[in-house]
Amino acid sequence: SSGENGGGGGRSGALSPPPITDVVQKIDVNPPKGTRDFAPEEMRLRNWLFQNFREVSRMFGFEEVDFPVLESEALFIRKAGEEIRDQLYCFEDRGNRRVALRPELTPSLARLVIQKGKSVSLPLKWFAIGQCWRYERMTRGRRREHYQWNMDIIGVPEVTAEAELISSIVTFFKRIGITASDVGFKVSSRKVLQEVLRCYSIPENLFSKVCIIIDKIEKIPLDEIKKELKSTGVSEEGVEELLQVLSIKSLAKLEEILGSAGEAVADLKQLFSLAEKFGYSEWIEFDASVVRGLAYYTGIVFEGFDREGKLRAICGGGRYDRLLSTFGGEDLPACGFGFGDAVIVELLKERGLVPELNLRVENIVCALDVDLQGAAARVASILREKGQSVDLVLESKPLKWVFKRAARVNAYRLILVGSSEWQRGMVSVKILSSGEQNEVKLDELE
Ligand SMILES: CC(=O)Nc1cnc2ccccc2c1
């Protein structure tokens, strides 16, 4: 506590002890449970990841958008029994409004599309990278926040949109050294379930609930799944038929069961043929058990998985043609995906693909005595005006310290401002890798 609060404390000598109000109780310097800090090394990796997200989005002609991390709770209240709903980070604000930290980006995107209405021309190709939140009991020790890359195409009913989205993710994986032998995409369509449920005259409004239950098929025991399905109103026979269909791993088999007339088979055949044209056939496989855990998907769904089966889904997405109308907007065909920043880093570590990202400063500039500090500042400004990075030594330090600092910031060269050279308008430049040192006129420094 310095002079500003009048009382004692401050730096000058041993005055009276600071008034009791100034003593801050020891605070916990760790971030809140389930959240992370990004110190420089972690931030470099995050920036590298996001730069690749952005570069791929740009290559696919997508425009970046963003939304508030705080949204009206109503945006996320869905009654399909999703996990994301149980873990909503929601509260009442000082204006007595029910608000929530967004658990995903798609509803915000839908909201903005409706808000823009006729003023935007279709198709929209938007991407966002945003922090998403969940509140879950820390018993599971899982994170409460992560960053998600989303890409969405609004206004395209054809499967070409889903094929384009998968192509963008494949492009991303290839950019960071991940191959089709590392990961794959399981692809299916919710229309498969829809067509089966129709055979058993299950009412449409149960469709989302059934999907959410089925999404848990690998997470909870099978008889629990059956129980939940029956309590939702699916008949014994319907449950058996559903589970039968979900185990299909080939499109041909699916066609045998569902026939060739339905949209599910037609969409999936088109997707696989487009995948061939895009050149990523070896990345995708049909798997009828993929339904994804978000209520609003209506068609093709897909998820990226690691072929060693050690990690959770890397990314996931699909078609959600009804989401806009649930917000009172005009229905618009839409599809998109979410790609989290956590599992991918685990995968990169597993595969030894985390890049070496060292801080590199081009110059470290140091005055050799205290009355040359101004001269050193001038040298730093000249270099910075040329767009160069400079770590300017801000206090008088022994040369030993300066060399240590130069190594720490991984400087390319050390520029020393000494009085005899400065009299002659020169500075001393040392290339730290080779040790080569020479004097350079100030106005010839580049
Ligand atoms: C692996 C991981 O951290 N998952 C994660 C972490 N935080 C979240 C926060 C909101 C929604 C989903 C989330 C998912």
Whether residue 15 is predicted with pLDDT greater than 80 in this model: the reply is no
Poorest-confidence range of 79-88, 107-116, 294-303, 328-337? 79-88
| Average pLDDT value for the chain | 93
pLDDT digits (tens, 9 = 90+) for 315-333: 999 999 999 999 988 899 9
Whether residue 164 is predicted with pLDDT greater than 60 in this model: the reply is yes
Structure confidence at residue 9 (pLDDT): 42
- How many whole angstroms from 316 Cα to the centroid of ligand 1? 13
- How many whole angstroms from 133 Cα to the centroid of ligand 1? 7
pTM of the model: 0.91
Structure confidence at residue 13 (pLDDT): 53
Q: Which residue's structure tokens are 């001269």?
A: 375
Report which protein residue has its CA nearest ligand 1's atom 11: 103
Nearest Cα to Cα of residue 265 among 281, 252, 279: 252
Complex confidence, ipTM: 0.93
Q: How far apart are the first and last CA of the chain?
A: 44
User: For the residues 244-270, what does the mean pLDDT come to?
Assistant: 93
Whether residue 11 is predicted with pLDDT greater than 50 in this model: the reply is no
Q: How far apart are CA 429 and CA 438, in angstroms?
A: 5
**Which of residues 24 and 37 earns the better pLDDT score?**
37
pLDDT digits (tens, 9 = 90+) for 39-92: 999 999 999 999 999 999 999 999 999 999 999 999 999 888 888 888 999 999
Nearest Cα to Cα of residue 65 among 110, 103, 100: 110
Report which protein residue has its CA nearest ligand 1's atom 8: 145
Say if CB 341 and CB 42 are below 8 A apart: no
What band does 1 get if pLDDT is binned at 50, 70 and 90?
Answer: very low
- How many whole angstroms from 400 Cα to the centroid of ligand 1? 46
Q: How far apart are CA 125 and CA 160, in angstroms?
A: 13
Nearest Cα to Cα of residue 105 among 55, 64, 140: 64
* Sheet architecture: strand order including 426-431: 390-392, 363-367, 413-417, 426-431, 437-441
For helices 207-215 and 190-199, angle between their N-to-C axes, nearest 10 degrees = 120
- Strands 413-417, 363-367: pairing is parallel
Q: How far apart are CA 84 and CA 216, in angstroms?
A: 13
Structure confidence at residue 18 (pLDDT): 65
Whether residue 6 is predicted with pLDDT greater than 80 in this model: the reply is no
Q: Is there an atom of ligand 1 within 6 Å of 82 CB?
A: no
User: For the residues 261-269, what does the mean pLDDT come to?
Assistant: 96
Q: How far apart are CA 136 and CA 124, in angstroms?
A: 34
Whether residue 228 is predicted with pLDDT greater than 70 in this model: the reply is yes
Poorest-confidence range of 45-59, 243-257, 407-421? 243-257
What band does 138 get if pLDDT is binned at 50, 70 and 90?
Answer: low
The alpha carbon of residue 120 and the mean position of all alpha carbons in its chain are separated, in whole angstroms, by 26
Poorest-confidence range of 10-24, 37-51, 128-142, 285-299? 10-24
- How many whole angstroms from 280 Cα to the centroid of ligand 1? 28
Count how many residues are written for the chain.
446
Q: Which residue's structure tokens are 């020169």?
A: 426
Q: Is there an atom of ligand 1 within 6 Å of 132 CB?
A: yes
- How many whole angstroms from 134 Cα to the centroid of ligand 1? 7
Structure confidence at residue 50 (pLDDT): 98
**Which of residues 110 and 249 earns the better pLDDT score?**
110
What band does 22 get if pLDDT is binned at 50, 70 and 90?
Answer: confident
Q: Is there an atom of ligand 1 within 6 Å of 342 CB?
A: yes
Amino acid occupying residue 47: N
User: For the residues 121-141, what does the mean pLDDT come to?
Assistant: 91
Q: How far apart are CA 220 and CA 349, in angstroms?
A: 28
Closest ligand 1 atom to residue 343 Cα is 1
What band does 20 get if pLDDT is binned at 50, 70 and 90?
Answer: low
Give long-range contacts, CB 8 A cutoff, 24+ apart: 321-327: 321/157, 322/296, 322/298, 323/106, 323/107, 323/110, 323/296, 324/110, 324/113, 324/114, 326/296, 327/75, 327/107, 327/110, 327/111, 327/114
Please give the full DSSP string across 252-302, using - where no structure is assigned: HHHHHHH-SSSHHHHHHHHHHHHHHHHT-GGGEEE-TT---S-TT--SEEE
Classify residue 328 by burial, with Cβ atoms within 10 Å: 0-12, 13-18, 19+. exposed
Amino acid occupying residue 323: L
With H, G, I as helix, E, B as strand and everything else as coil, classify residue 58.
Answer: helix
The alpha carbon of residue 389 and the mean position of all alpha carbons in its chain are separated, in whole angstroms, by 29
Q: Is there an atom of ligand 1 within 6 Å of 344 CB?
A: no
Whether residue 17 is predicted with pLDDT greater than 80 in this model: the reply is no
What band does 23 get if pLDDT is binned at 50, 70 and 90?
Answer: low
Q: What percent of the chain has pLDDT over 90?
A: 82
Whether residue 361 is predicted with pLDDT greater than 80 in this model: the reply is yes
With H, G, I as helix, E, B as strand and everything else as coil, classify residue 429.
Answer: strand
Q: Which residue's structure tokens are 């995708």?
A: 284
